[in-house]
Structure 1
Amino acid sequence: MSSIIIDRIAVDDGTLECSVRPSPDLERFFTDESFRTSYDTSIADVPEGVLAIPVLAQVCPVAWANGADVYVDEVDATFARALEDVKASLCEMHDFLEGGTLYARRTIEPEPEPSDESGLLFTGGVDSTCSYVRHREESPALVSIRGWTISPDPADDEKWDALRTRVADFADDHGCETEFVDSNMLSFLDHPMLLAHYKRYVDGGWYSSVGHGLGLLGLCAPAAYARGMEDLYVAATHWEGIDLEWGSRPDIDEHVRWAGTRCHHDAYELTRQERLDVIADYVRSEDPTLQLQTCNDQMAGNCGECEKCYRTAVGLRLSGLEPAEHGYPFSDADYPRLRRSLERGDWVLGQDERYMWADIRDRARRTEPATPAERTFFEWLEAADLDELISASAPPLSHRLLRAGARNAPTTVYNVAYPAWITAKAGLRRVRSDR
């Protein structure tokens, strides 16, 4: 019987560590690392049933993909019920998920000390900044997480330091507290093997398409409990009318809860361009020097040359802001460069980017261009086939064939072959982006 056992949970002040034992058929989805997470807040007095939430939030989707059961000594009863609701939503969204059962020796219903505090998962990008603006009267604690887009690898230390500095400065300027969470949630899982097995079913990666709503929110549970957070917000990526298989949606995040805390999928009723409008109104009324950080390639400022930087800069202009004043080196000369890169498929894009460029196109139809270069670009965008732009950026056949091989390769062969492929893939990405 396929199973995953959580068999040891240890705490040292703000550090949580636990051992995970998968059954032999699931071992390829795990590395030799134990699960580890560190918090700024001491979690020494948090009940074990709440301490189990971060690791359960990572392993349960893996179990559900394989029809496996999960075993743990103790779990918060509220979170156990939440898992059933999240499982139902994910299984309805993804046909390849089979489900499974959580078994606990004990369920607990603790009563944390309330503090009227709230929290917001925060990077300083468009979505989380919009959510801050919407909830700024609450002065939410800004929660930033290392472990997904910034890996725990020492090579990413500089990126993490840059994000910490930027978020801490934002918090100081806006009267908020911070909570920095550092986890190996994707390196204790064998994320490349999960991708090799399940990429064929999803538009993005495993974590983006399946795991990150439950995973990121659940990761916060011990600190939220210790701090008495009653509400925890995660900013929406998509909006009403977009039906993509995505791991963070209202029908997932709104179910996540544990003793004392409810989670909220925020600003889903607003498109990305409308979120930029919210930010623009706030800039004009309260914060004229506000800086955004959305870059896909660096954390210490925006490169101004990746698809996300260009897309954000164009959106800022459509909301009446000058991108260069808010973190984006952008001018009229960039419109032809942006068009060429989109036409020749310089970036690997998915359906979410298609919807975001459609959102920009819809706003451009109702906005008078400010310059001739802007007019030319929007006329091209109006006539462009967005589906063709997305297909032009599809990954090469060789990448898809390697994933198919990895699904059936012995683990020892995969462990040698996959790092070599990652190196080759990174080189290809650099060549394509330099064209």
Structure 2
Amino acid sequence: MSKIIIDYVDADETTLECDVTTSRDLERFFSTESFRTEYDVSIEDVPEGILVIPVLAQVCPVAWANGADVYVDEVDETFASALSAVQESLCSMHDFLEGGTLYAKETVDVQPDASGESGLLFTGGVDSTCSYVRHREEEPTLISIRGWTITPDSADDEKWDHLRSRTTSFAQEHGLETSFVESNMLSFLAHPMLLAHYKRHVDGAWYSSVGHGLGLLGLCAPMAYARGMDDLYVAATHWEGIDLEWGSRPDIDDHVRWAGTQCHHDSYDLTRQERLDAIAEYVDDEAPSLQLQTCNVRMDGNCGECEKCYRTAVGLRLSGLEPTDHGYDFEHDDYREIRTALEEGRWVLGQDERYMWEDIRERTLEADPSSVAEAAFFAWLEEADLDALVADAEPPLSHRLLRAGARNTPARVYNTVYPAWKSAKGSFRREQAK
């Protein structure tokens, strides 16, 4: 019988550590690492029923993908109920998920020590900044997480320093508190093996398509309990009318809760352009020097040349803001570069980007261009076949063969070979780009 057992949960000052045991068929999906998360507030007095939430939030989707059951000594009854609702939503979204049952020796009615605080997962991008703007009267604690897009590896130390610095500066300027969470959740899971088995079922990677809504929110549970947070917000990526298989959606995040804390998938009622409108109104009223950080290339500012930088700059102009005032070097001549890059397929675009350029296109139909270059770009975008601009999402044959082979390869072999192969491929690409 397929199963995952949470057999050790410990809190030492600010560090959470958990160990799991699995049936042999699931061993390949877990590394030899213990699950560890570091907080910046003491979690020693947090009940075990809450302490177990971060590891459950990572392992349960893996269990559901394999029809496995999960066993734990103690869990908060509010979160146990939430897991059932999240499981139903994820299984409805992904056909390959089979489901499973959570078995607890004791389901505990943990009593919260709520203080009326709120928290917001924050990066400084369009979505999380819009969520701050909408909830600024609550003075939410800004929460930045290391473990997904910024890994715990020392190679990412500089990126993490930049994110911490940006979040801290924003918080100081707005009289807010911060919270920084660091976890090994993706190296605790054998993420390469999860990709090998399930990449063919999803548009993105495992964590983006399946795990990150429940995973990131659940990671915050001990900290939120210790701080007495009533509400925890995660900004929406998509909006109403976009039905993509994505791991963070209202029908996932709004179900997540534990004693004293309710999570919220925020600003789903606004398109990305409307979120920029909300930011523009806030800039006009209160924050004329507000800086955004959305770049896919850099963490210490925006490169101004990647697809996301250009897309954000165009969106800012459509909302009445000058991009150069808010972190983006942008000139009207850049419209020609955007069109060329889109037509030549220089950027790998997915359905996310197609919807976002469609959102921009709808706004351009109402806009009055301020230059010949802008007018020409708007006219081109109105007629552009956005579906044709979206690159084929299927990975190269070499990737598909590697993952197919991995499904019949011993986990210890694949988990060693895949990172080395990936590093070699990255080095080759960098050399080719010089």
Q: Identify the TM-score tier after normalising by the shorter chain.
A: over 0.9
Does the residue aligned with 1:327 lie in a helix, a strand or coil?
coil
Task: Note closer, same or farther for the CA distance 1:428–1:249 as it changes in structure 2 (3 Å cut).
Answer: farther
Bigger mean CA offset, 130-139 vs 103-112 = 103-112
| Preserved CA contact (<8 Å) 2:76 2:107 | yes
Q: Which amino acid aligns with 1:140?
A: P
Distance (Å, rounded) in 2 between the aligned partners of 1:32 and 1:427: 27
Output one character per residue of 1:331-364: Cα deviation in whole Å (capped at 9) or x when no partner. 1232222222222222222111111111111111
Match of 1:368 in 2: 368
| Preserved CA contact (<8 Å) 1:344 1:392 | no
Task: Note closer, same or farther for the CA distance 1:402–1:297 as it changes in structure 2 (3 Å cut).
Answer: same
Bigger mean CA offset, 105-114 vs 253-262 = 105-114
Match of 1:279 in 2: 279
Bigger mean CA offset, 92-101 vs 419-428 = 419-428
Bigger mean CA offset, 363-372 vs 130-139 = 363-372
Distance (Å, rounded) in 1 between the aligned partners of 2:317 and 2:428: 32
Distance (Å, rounded) in 1 between the aligned partners of 2:94 and 2:312: 30
Q: Which amino acid aligns with 2:41?
A: T
Q: Is the counterpart of residue 82 in structure 1 residue 82 in structure 2?
A: yes
Distance (Å, rounded) in 2 between the aligned partners of 1:173 and 1:60: 39
Match of 1:10 in 2: 10
Distance (Å, rounded) in 2 between the aligned partners of 1:72 and 1:392: 42
Does the residue aligned with 1:408 lie in a helix, a strand or coil?
coil
Q: Given the two structures, how large is their TM-score scaled by the length of structure 1?
A: 0.97
The 5 Å alignment of 1:235-254 reads 235-254=235-254
Q: Given the two structures, how large is their TM-score scaled by the length of structure 2?
A: 0.97
Match of 2:420 in 1: 420
Bigger mean CA offset, 65-74 vs 409-418 = 409-418
Q: Which amino acid aligns with 1:304?
A: G
Q: Which amino acid aligns with 1:187?
A: S
The 5 Å alignment of 1:387-426 reads 387-391=387-391, 395-426=395-426
| Preserved CA contact (<8 Å) 2:198 2:206 | yes
Q: Which amino acid aligns with 2:248?
A: S
Distance (Å, rounded) in 2 between the aligned partners of 1:410 and 1:74: 33
Distance (Å, rounded) in 2 between the aligned partners of 1:423 and 1:125: 28
Bigger mean CA offset, 306-315 vs 385-394 = 385-394
| Preserved CA contact (<8 Å) 2:28 2:412 | no
| Preserved CA contact (<8 Å) 2:203 2:393 | no
Q: Is the counterpart of residue 218 in structure 1 residue 218 in structure 2?
A: yes
Output one character per residue of 1:405-432: Cα deviation in whole Å (capped at 9) or x when no partner. 2222232442343123312442466579
Task: Note closer, same or farther for the CA distance 1:381–1:35 as it changes in structure 2 (3 Å cut).
Answer: same
Distance (Å, rounded) in 2 between the aligned partners of 1:239 and 1:230: 24
Output one character per residue of 1:111-141: Cα deviation in whole Å (capped at 9) or x when no partner. 1222110000111000000000000000000
| Preserved CA contact (<8 Å) 2:193 2:411 | no
Q: How many percent identity over aligned positions?
A: 74
Q: Which amino acid aligns with 1:211?
A: G
Match of 1:316 in 2: 316
Match of 1:378 in 2: 378
Distance (Å, rounded) in 1 between the aligned partners of 2:426 and 2:366: 40
Q: Which amino acid aligns with 1:299?
A: M
Does the residue aligned with 2:367 lie in a helix, a strand or coil?
coil
1:62 Cα deviation after fit: 0.3
| Preserved CA contact (<8 Å) 2:193 2:415 | no
| Preserved CA contact (<8 Å) 1:349 1:394 | no
Distance (Å, rounded) in 2 between the aligned partners of 1:428 and 1:252: 39
1:106 Cα deviation after fit: 1.0
CA RMSD of superposed structures (Å)? 1.5
| Contiguous gaps of at least 5 residues in structure 1 | none
Q: Which amino acid aligns with 2:269?
A: E
Match of 1:43 in 2: 43
Does the residue aligned with 1:199 lie in a helix, a strand or coil?
helix
Task: Note closer, same or farther for the CA distance 1:82–1:392 as it changes in structure 2 (3 Å cut).
Answer: closer
Aligned length: 434
Q: Which amino acid aligns with 1:195?
A: L
1:280 Cα deviation after fit: 0.3
